[in-house]
Structure formats: structure tokens, C-alpha cells
Amino acid sequence: MKDTFLVEIGTEELPAKILKKIAKNFYLNICKYLNKNNISYKKIIWFATSRRIAVKIININKNNLNIKKKKKIDKINNKNYNKLYIKKKYIKKILLNIIKCSIEEINLPNKMRWGYGKNYFIRPIKNITIILGKDLINTKILNLKSNRIIYGSRFLKNNIIYIKNAYSYPNILFKKGNIIANYYLRKNKIISQIKKISNKIFGIVDLEKKLLEEVTSLIEFPIVLLSKFNINFLKIPNEIILYIIKYIQKCFPIYKKKNQLIPYFIFVSNIELKNKKKIIKKYEQIINNRFHDIIFFLNEDIKKKIINNFFKLKKILFYKNLGSLKDKTIRINHISLWISKIINTKLNLSKRSSFLSKCDLTTNIVKEFSNMQGIMGMYYSKKNNEHKNVSLSIKEQYQPKFFKDKIPFNLISCVLAIADKIDNIIGIIIINKKKKISSDPFALRRSILGIINIIIKNKINININHLIKKTFKIYNIKKEKIDIINKFIIKRIFYLYKKKNNTNFIKSILFNCNMKFYNLKNKIKIISYFRKLKIFNNLISINKRIYNIIKKSKFKINYYIKNVFFIFNEEIYLLNLIKKIKFQIKFAIYNNNINFILLSLINLCIPTNKFFNNIKIFNNNKKIINNRLNILNEILKLTSIVIDKSIIIN
């Protein structure tokens, strides 16, 4: 016999940004354990609103659990995986165990405890409903007894709904509780209504994915409405208008063209009112008041030049043991000037951008809305007629903020961004002796990847090791600690590229790059291509053979090769070829031509094989043996320019 199973967990307000993730995690855990126990079903659906997560399993097989004979199945228990024989009467017990473990295994960022119990969840759980067909499964989960009560909209006078069977869910919520429990149905309704309204005023709405999902998670019964604000507020910089509308008020701005805002916005209400004009006016009032405050802040901030805020930075602590923001700015200036000299950017612009970089942190707008740092610095510096590259660099110094964020391409921005990030990394890790970086609250790993991406995308020829040494000098740190930073950087880059490439292969490239990463992507691409060629693998095997011969011999390599000890033509030919390739590789390294280096090394394969076939390396004369080993060692040295010795050994 087949039936429908329902589990709903009623909670306090769940975090909107991760609601979808929590619900899907719960759903996937249930799917995993159903499959593990060979429980067949037709369909499984998950539901999520701001105060509930639920799963409905359609046509679950109560009798035939895909088992022809008595078959041992895992009893779901996190601590013990005991074995038992499943019979028809155990189906409810199994489903309960599945639910308990699925709740426990939901991946949550921060769990909390409530009441007198020892149970943990992201928010306090208020109600649990577990029904199989028409039968309520009486149980106690997280100190709560399961019941037939589910809750409708909080705006209803009587929002308690009595559910008789699992089939009626989620329709009963919609009819009696004014709630659309299906997440995607709710999302699609919001999208269609937004498009319909925007088309009426010939506007374009940017349906940003994160904002749309957050609004969908916040709203249980979406009613989409159009509102407007005072047209005079369009004088405010676009970034601030968008920040207020999207991230403070959770509304959708409307454009006339791609980047041209119009004084309209769309908001989503959680309740249907008879008089919609009232709620529209309230939203208008809130937005206009926000913008009125911003106009006041802007007028106050532009009364003086932004550079005048530099001395105010002395009163703001950057971090414990790292001085004030003024101290940080001076360090950034020293690092920026050093980088500018290496990559030939204008020193006066780098110096100016360094001193202006943190000045906007003392402004009224940034004090009120911290996310506007950098953006306001750019805006105020433009007002003060600063150079356009300097203004842009103040904004772009914080980029990339996340993995797929935009990379700055203006060189002044690149210099400032690298200087700011390297100061953060060394300051936090070394000065504050931060040993555990697993949680990474200071976004140090993101900062490292930011520096590497800026260098690679802009092909900035800078040695990271030298940059670290320069920063160490500014901090007066002993050079012995440089390895801590180097290992941290190499580890991050390794994790960045290891997904698409062989781990040993990536290690070999990183160990041979001398902390210069500007050509790293190209280098990986070229060597990846060569690795597929038989001749390249032949080169590796030759080097491996050379390494083993040198290792097993009792001779010390002295790097001196004397023509007097040559007996065979193969020795003379191989040495002359090595000298020629050595000369070619020097120019190839200077021009960063990895392709040419590899082709040159491959040319050594045939002569080296002839050398091995026609010459016995070990004979009675120790000087001749040593001479031959030195020739072979030269090949090993040349190959290790591109491929690390450790990879050849392994």
C-alpha cells in the first residue's frame, strides 16, 4: 500500500539569506536516508517559508520496501549503526529515525539552544507535525510532541490550522492560512508580478538573484506594489540610492535604460490590504526620509576637502598592536611607492591615492552606512578635482571582495589594492600571532586570492617574496618569519588550481615560480598541454633516471666538467647541446616564453638516451665517472627550472 508522508518543522523567524539552503539540506538528508533504507516513493517535495521548513513524500511504499526477502538495513542512528530486520510495522519507526537524523545533520552556520533543553537549531523550534497518510505519528523530537496543528499567516486573527491528512498539504495552508509554502512558486509569482508592473511604466527591473531569493524567503504571501520617491533625490550618487533601496529596504529599483534610474521602486508586501495606498505611502515616506538624511550628510561632508580627514584617522584604531588607521595609511604609502617603482606607475598618483585611501572612513555617510566605504571616497575625491585614476583607486582598493568579484585594471588601483591587502595579511598573521586561520574572520584567504588574481589578470611582474620582505621591514619583523607567509600564500594558490589539475603538477609549478605569479595561468596551461605528449613524459623519466643514478653513486657533484676526461663523441655532443640550450633558456626566461623552454628541454631527450645506450657511466676512473655525473646533473638543473625536483622523484 502506498501513502503520503509529511513532516513540517515550525520555527521562529529563520534567517532569510540561508533559508533555501537549510530547507534543501533537510530535503537532501531525507532523500539520502530513504535511499539508504531502500524505501521507494514516487516524488519528494520540499517547502520553506520564513517560519517553517517541510518535506512531503508522495506515494511512499509502506509495505514493499524493495526487499523480496528479509534484508538487513541500517538503523538510522548517528552514534550506532545497528542492524535490524525491517518488517511492515517498522515503517513509522524508520521514518522517525530518518527525520531525527536529517534534522541533526542539517548544515547550520550557528546553532542556538533555547528553553531548558539541550537541543540545538538555528532558531527555536515551536511546533512539529509528522503525518503518514491520515495517521499522526506520535513522537517527541527536540522535546516537542508531534501534533496536527500548523500555523497560517501571523496577520490572521486565528492562524491555527488543524490538518487531517498529509495529502492536503500545502493547499490547506494557502486556503486557510494565506501562505504559499512552495518556495519556487512564491518566487515565480514575485517575478511575474514585478515584470507586469514594470512594463506598465516602461521600466526595466534588475532582478538580482541574491535580493530576489532573500525577499522570497522573507515573504509568505507576496503582494507586489509600485511606489516612488522624490525626483530631486536622483542627484544622490547611484551607488547610495541602490544600496538604500536594495539592501536596506529590500526593494527593487527601476531603470529607464540600463544604468539610468527613475524615481520608482517595487516592493513586496506580506499581506493583502483593502487600502493599498496606505502601505504605498508608508514606503514612500520611509525612502524619502532616508534620502533626505543622506542629502544632509553629503552637504556636511563636502564642506571640507577629503584630505583634511587624514589627521582624524589617528583617533580610529585599526586593530590591536597594529596602530591607528593613520599608521596603516602610512604603511600602505610605503608599500605602494615600492610597488610603483617596480611596475613603473606614476609615483605622485600612488602617493596621493595612498593618503586618501582611508579618509572617507571619517565621513558621515560611511559612519551611517559602512558598506559605502571606498565608494564615498571616490565620490568626494571627484568633487575635490582629484585625478580620475586616484578617485577610482579609492573605490577599487577593496576589490575583489569575493571570489567572482570584479578585478581592478587601473594600475593605480592595483597598486593600492595589493598594498592594503598585504598589510592586512602580515599584520594579522605575524604581529597578532594568529595561529588558527580556519574560520578566517579577517578574510585573509580572500585577500591572498585577491592579490594573486590582480597580479595574474593584469600581468604585474612583481615578486611576492620581495613584497613581503619590504612589508616586514616596515613592521620591523625578523626575516625568519617570511616562510610563514610564503607557505600561507602557496597553500591558497594550490587550493585555487588543484580542482582542475593534478596536485603534484601544481606543486611543481608553484615551487618553481620564485613567488612570481603574473604568468602562472599561462604556465599551467602550456605545461598541461605538454604533459599529454609522450616526449614530455620521456623527459620526466630521463630526469628521474638521472636523479636515481646520482643519488645511488657515492660521488659528490662538484659542477666542474673537464673536456680532458671525455672519451666518447656522445659526451662532447651532449655537453655542447646543454650549453646551447642553457643560453637559449636564459633569453626565454627573460621573455617569459615557457613554451620555448619546454621545447628546448625536449630536444635533450634523444641525445641523452643515446648517451645512456652507448656509454657506461661507471668505470675504473673516478674522474671520468664524476665528469659524466656532472653532465647529467646539468640536465637535471635545466629541467628543474620548470618542473620541481620533488615531482621528478615521485
pLDDT digits (tens, 9 = 90+) for 550-589: 888 876 776 678 777 788 888 888 888 888 888 888 777 7
> What's residue 197's pLDDT?
94
Number of neighbouring beta carbons within 10 Å of residue 231:
10
> What's residue 70's pLDDT?
39
Task: Kindly state whether residues 269 and 404 are assigned to the same domain.
Answer: no
Kindly calculate the radius of gyration of the chain based on its CA atoms and give it in whole angstroms.
34
Task: Kindly state whether residues 171 and 195 are assigned to the same domain.
Answer: no
How far is residue 272 from each of residues 170, 276, 283, measured CA to CA in Å? 19, 8, 15
Task: Kindly state whether residues 437 and 467 are assigned to the same domain.
Answer: yes
Contact between 206 and 252 (Cβ < 8 Å)? yes
Higher pLDDT, 72 or 607: 607
Averaged pLDDT for residues 254-273:
89
Q: Rounded to an integer, what distance in angstroms lies between the CA atom of residue 490 and that of residue 424?
A: 17
> What's residue 72's pLDDT?
41
Tens of pLDDT along 629-649?
888 888 888 887 776 665 565
Task: Kindly state whether residues 53 and 162 are assigned to the same domain.
Answer: yes
Task: Kindly state whether residues 552 and 498 are assigned to the same domain.
Answer: no
> What's residue 388's pLDDT?
94
Rounded (10°) angle between helices 534-552 and 605-614: 40
Averaged pLDDT for residues 122-138:
91
Burial class (CB in 10 A: 0-12, 13-18, 19+), 620: exposed
Q: Rounded to an integer, what distance in angstroms lies between the CA atom of residue 529 and that of residue 536?
A: 10
Task: Kindly state whether residues 165 and 221 are assigned to the same domain.
Answer: no
Number of neighbouring beta carbons within 10 Å of residue 54:
24
Q: Is 141 helix (H, G, I), strand (E, B) or coil?
A: strand
Burial class (CB in 10 A: 0-12, 13-18, 19+), 43: exposed
Contact between 8 and 23 (Cβ < 8 Å)? no
> What's residue 85's pLDDT?
39
Task: Kindly state whether residues 68 and 124 are assigned to the same domain.
Answer: yes
* Domain end (from 526, 545, 574): 526
Q: Which segments of 178-220 does DSSP mark as H helices, in order?
A: 183-200, 209-218
Task: Kindly state whether residues 441 and 585 are assigned to the same domain.
Answer: no
> What's residue 77's pLDDT?
47
Sheet strand arrangement including 252-255: 204-205, 252-255, 261-269, 223-228
Q: Rounded to an integer, what distance in angstroms lies between the CA atom of residue 9 and that of residue 150?
A: 9
* Domain end (from 303, 334, 364): 303
* Domain end (from 303, 318, 349): 303
How far is residue 425 from each of residues 428, 448, 449, 489, measured CA to CA in Å? 6, 8, 11, 10
Sheet strand arrangement including 43-49: 43-49, 52-61, 2-11, 125-132, 135-136
Task: Kindly state whether residues 551 and 512 are assigned to the same domain.
Answer: no
Rounded (10°) angle between helices 411-426 and 388-396: 40
Q: What is the DSSP letter of 346?
A: -
Number of neighbouring beta carbons within 10 Å of residue 499:
8
Please count the structural domains in the chain.
4
Percentage of the chain exceeding pLDDT 70: 89
Which of 150-154, 161-165, 629-633 is predicted least confidently? Answer: 629-633
Higher pLDDT, 291 or 505: 291
Tens of pLDDT along 313-344?
999 999 888 889 999 999 999 999 999 999 99
Task: Kindly state whether residues 483 and 591 are assigned to the same domain.
Answer: no
Task: Kindly state whether residues 322 and 433 are assigned to the same domain.
Answer: yes
Q: Rounded to an integer, what distance in angstroms lies between the CA atom of residue 136 and that of residue 277?
A: 44
Task: Tell me the residue range of the domain where 205 lies.
Answer: 183-303
